[in-house]
Amino acid sequence: MSQSHVIIIGGGIVGCACAHRLAETGWRVTLIERDTLGSGATAAGMGQVVALDDSPAEFALTADSQRRWHALGQANPLVHEYTPCGTIWVASDDEELAMAAAKVPNYHAAGLQAELLDAAALYRHEPNLRPGLPGGLRIAGDAVVYPSRSAAWLWQQTGGTLIHAQVSTIQAGGVTLADGRHLHADAVVLATGSRARDLVPALPIRPKKGHLVITDRYPGFIHHQVAEMGYVKNAHLADVDSVAFNVQPRATGQILIGSCRQYDIHTPEVDPVMLGQMLQRCLEFMPALATLSSLRVWTGYRAATPDGQPLIGPHPHQPGLWLATGHEGLGITTSLGTADLLAALMNHTPPAIDPTPYLPSRFFAPTSSLL
Ligand SMILES: Cc1cc2nc3c(=O)[nH]c(=O)nc-3n(C[C@H](O)[C@H](O)[C@H](O)COP(=O)(O)OP(=O)(O)OC[C@H]3O[C@@H](n4cnc5c(N)ncnc54)[C@H](O)[C@@H]3O)c2cc1C
């Protein structure tokens, strides 16, 4: 029996995860990447695998994905540099601590570990936090991975064909490359992250620029991903420029320091003002960061959608075109859940979670125009 053939455009973590899952479920896969695998937002990201409960849709996809990363990481910890360090969400006042307490039952109901920390427990875990904080929330199942290597590894398992080229157009039954070649397939998956509008201009995707700093090696300086409770409000959900305290221990002993978000900036240069504001915010929570030596700063782009959820599923008006983009600041985490959902939809098999909140059709009117 001949296999169905899918072309996946974009070899970031999302495209590679989709390739992996589709190959597992019987598709012949061709991946087209204009650069190297895992070099876009995937290389720029922090690599935190995080279950976030800020909306039911976000929680369903991140919790499902966190479990998938756990299985992948436990099976192959060296490849993925899978480090199950957990996250501590730091409350800056009693109101945020009450918010943290209210989240505990949500995580437990989803079968995930969550522990409310009082001040003493907080400082036992992370002594470098500034004095006077009331506590926090510890999500033990969160982890850190090395996204670019995971992307390449996921792709290597597929046995598919990798073409290094730029796709210039998508049409029914295939794509055209910038060098003029036409490639045919039964299905095309668009997984080009923040560049999705280059090929499908009507998609509601806006780039959100971020900066990250990496330090020299300081093993034991922090033990968890440590972020402020206000991170989601200040970062994920904000539609104006924002900064938030968010630091991560790498397997090398280095510390990744973030984060900030800027809308509609298309130049990759480091913005010293934004960088300064980001570092200032981090120093407010962890003054000892000022004693560390930083090695490098870089920027990258998240693909933001108006409702903060990714686009996973069929394009409602272009038969044969499937979308896997718009993952904003959670695409490393949600890549595995995305791939499973997309494959279930393409294979007409039951999905692990309800796909409705992520279907691209939510942004399209019943006719062909966008809402
Ligand atoms: C600063 C920062 C920190 C982040 N931290 C985290 C985190 O801790 N945890 C988390 O879960 N997420 C995080 N993210 C988000 C995460 O990095 C992204 O959501 C994820 O990498 C998106 O993956 P992707 O495969 O969709 O896109 P990308 O990685 O951008 O891949 C898209 C690929 O498509 C290719 N491409 C584009 N156009 C074409 C074309 N026309 N033809 C051929 N190829 C093309 C590009 O070269 C690229 O390789 C962070 C992002 C940033 C910027």
pLDDT of residue 236: 58
Q: What letter would DSSP give residue 356?
A: G
What digits encode the pLDDT tens for the residues 254-265? Answer: 999 999 999 888
Is the minimum distance from the CB of 45 to ligand 1 under 6 angstroms? yes
What residues have CB less than 8 Å from 289, skipping those under 6 apart? 128, 247, 255, 257, 279, 282, 283
Q: Looking at the predicted structure, is the pLDDT value of residue 280 above 60?
A: yes
Query: What would the mean pLDDT of 349-366 be, rounded to a whole number?
Result: 95
Helix, strand, coil content of the chain in percent (nearest 5): 35, 30, 35
Position 335 scores a pLDDT of: 98
Contact 211, 278 (CB under 8 A): yes
Q: Residue 83 pLDDT > 60, yes or no? A: yes
* Ligand 1 lined by 13 (C-beta under 6 Å): yes
52, 86, 339 from 114: Cα distances, Å: 11, 10, 26
DSSP string, 285-351: H-GGGGGSPEEEEEEEEEEE-TTS--EEEE-TTSTTEEEEE--GGGHHHHHHHHHHHHHHHHHT---
Q: What is the Cα–Cα distance from 269 to 300, expressed in whole angstroms?
A: 10
Place of tokens 């896969």: 29
**Which CATH superfamily groups domain 206-304?**
D-Amino Acid Oxidase, subunit A, domain 2 (3.30.9.10)
Q: d(Cα 170, Cα 189) in Å, to the nearest integer?
A: 10
Residue 365 has pLDDT above 90, yes or no: no
Give the chain's largest Cα–Cα span. Answer: 66
Q: What is the pLDDT of residues 172-198, one digit of tens each?
A: 999 999 999 999 999 999 999 999 999
Nearest of 217, 263, 214, 266 to residue 241 by alpha carbon: 263
**Average pLDDT value for residue range 280-306:** 97
Distance 42 CA to ligand 1 centre (A): 4
Among 371, 363, 353, 350, CA closest to 314: 363
Residue 371 confidence (pLDDT):
42
Distance of alpha carbon 359 from alpha carbon 305, whole angstroms: 12
Looking at the predicted structure, is the pLDDT value of residue 358 above 90?
A: yes
Give me the mean pLDDT over the 13-41 stretch: 98
Mean pLDDT (whole number) for 184-213: 97
Q: Is the CB of 166 under 6 A from ligand 1?
A: yes
Is the CATH number 3.90.1150.10 carried by domain 5-43+147-205+307-363? no
Average of per-residue pLDDT values in the chain: 95
Residue 269 has what pLDDT?
96
Domain with CATH 3.50.50.60 in the chain: 5-43+147-205+307-363
For residue 324, what are the β-bridge partners? 312
- Residue with the bigger pLDDT between 88 and 365: it is 88
Q: Indicate if ligand 1 lies below 6 Å from the C-beta of 41.
A: yes
Supply the pTM of this predicted model.
Answer: 0.96
pLDDT of residue 327: 98
In the predicted model, what is the mean pLDDT of residues 343-361? Answer: 98
What is the percentage of the chain residues whose pLDDT exceeds 70?
96
Q: What's the confidence (pLDDT) of residue 232?
A: 66
| Gap from CA of 314 to ligand 1 centroid (Å) | 20
Residue nearest to atom 18 of ligand 1 (CA): 331
User: For residue 358, how far is its CA from the centre of ligand 1 (angstroms)?
Assistant: 18
> How would residue 369 be classed by pLDDT, with cut points 50, 70 and 90?
very low
- Does the pLDDT of residue 134 top 90, yes or no? yes
Q: 236: Cβ below 6 Å to ligand 1?
A: no
Name the one residue in this structure whose structure tokens are 């976000």.
58
Span from the CA of 78 to the centroid of ligand 1 (angstroms)? 22
- CATH 3.30.9.10 in the chain, residues? 206-304
